[in-house]
Amino acid sequence: MGKEIILRYGCNPHQIPAKIYTEEDDLPIKVINGAPGYINLLDALNSWQLVHELRQVTNLPAAASFKHVSPAGAALGIPLSETLAKAYFVTGMELSPLAAAYARARGADRVSSFGDWVALSDPVDLPTARLLRREVSDGIIAPGYDPEALAILREKKKGRYNIIQIDPAYEPPEMEIRQVYGIFFAQKRNTVLASPMMTRRIVTENRDLPDTAERDLLLAMITLKYTQSNSVCLAVDGQVIGVGAGQQSRIHCTRLAAAKADTWYLRQHPRVLELPFREGLSRPERDNAIDQYLREDLTAVEKEQLREAFTGNPPELSAEEKRSWLANLRGVAMASDGFFPFRDNIDRAHASGVEYIIQPGGSVRDRSVIAACDEYGMVMAFSGIRLFHH
């Protein structure tokens, strides 16, 4: 596969020259189509690790939708309900387990996933390629491609769609090294694998952890392992529904992840599913219109622009209607890459249906956080493992 790939530029167009390379064996990746850039490859290698690990731990096909080196969504290959299929604009499509995984990953935050980098744990099949053909995406990494699927993907972006194949057997060196400001940093790679054993140290009065909740906790943990810290992740039904990434305060992570989860669930409100979109409105335009429709802080100009997306004038969802609908969101799992320093994180999580939590533990206020979980009847486990990623 060669030892280096010359890039057009680095993070920004003025950062020239740029390349990726290896000093020992050949690169484990091959560019099949397109000319991926520096950030594309950062997304590709981070996202591949996430889906590869999900496949190892859950034994299910996995997909991730990455933007700027953090996941907008990640999911497992579990069939979609009719409601989710409608919310994700895939009603009537043939969805293989791999395609279902990507539909779920893309559906976590469709606005953020616009122009995403896609990672798939398994060779890309025809249903998945047909789904990808419809979405605005920058590129994909996978361990292989069925010939018919590859032919479809080669046509995206007028033949410029970035397609990368990775050797699934590749194992990187134990030590990872990078350079910052002329200084080398070296550390042992984060090789810890999320496992059911990490969910067994339950510290709350409620110790009832269903298998599906355990699966969702592991999904959230693995997602955080490849998310820029600080980070918090909410998951349910085998898919991520909210990621709060790169925040300086833990409560801001939780608020961001929970707000995204709320939006994800509100997109499934019957009134949202029946919005009268103007004929010819693209899926990205519909995604943006839904996002604006659900906001409560629109300016007069934005309200006028929103009206242009519809053939009629749909009634707004009131704050009370939203609260009533969100009260139905239950059984959500939440993971944090670091300990919770205050109970406010638990209070906010409860408002978005969180019932199961995993975090490293180790705060001086652990007792207060545990007490908050007990107040809400939540199950919380201490993994003992911090998952910072920078």
Residues known to be catalytic: 67-68, 230, 390
Tell which residue, 88, 141, 143, has the closest CA to residue 118. Answer: 141
Which regions of the chain does DSSP assign to beta strands (E)?
4-7, 18-21, 29-33, 62-67, 70-76, 116-120, 137-142, 162-166, 175-180, 183-188, 231-236, 239-245, 332-336, 354-359, 379-382
Antiparallel, parallel or unpaired: β 354-359 and 379-382: parallel
> Which tokens hold the place of 203?
């510290």
Give first-to-last CA distance, the chain, whole Å: 28
CA distance linking residue 338 with residue 250, whole number of Å: 8
In this structure, what token pair is assigned to residue 58? 């859950």
107-123 per-residue burial string, b: 16 or more CB within 10 A, e: under 16 = bbbbebbbebbbbbbbb
Question: What are the residues whose beta carbons fall under 8 Å from the beta carbon of 363, sequence distance 6 or more?
Answer: 339, 340, 341, 369
The residue type found at 381 is A
- CA 155 – CA 159 distance, rounded (Å): 5
Side-chain-side CA neighbours of 293 within 13 Å: the count stands at 26
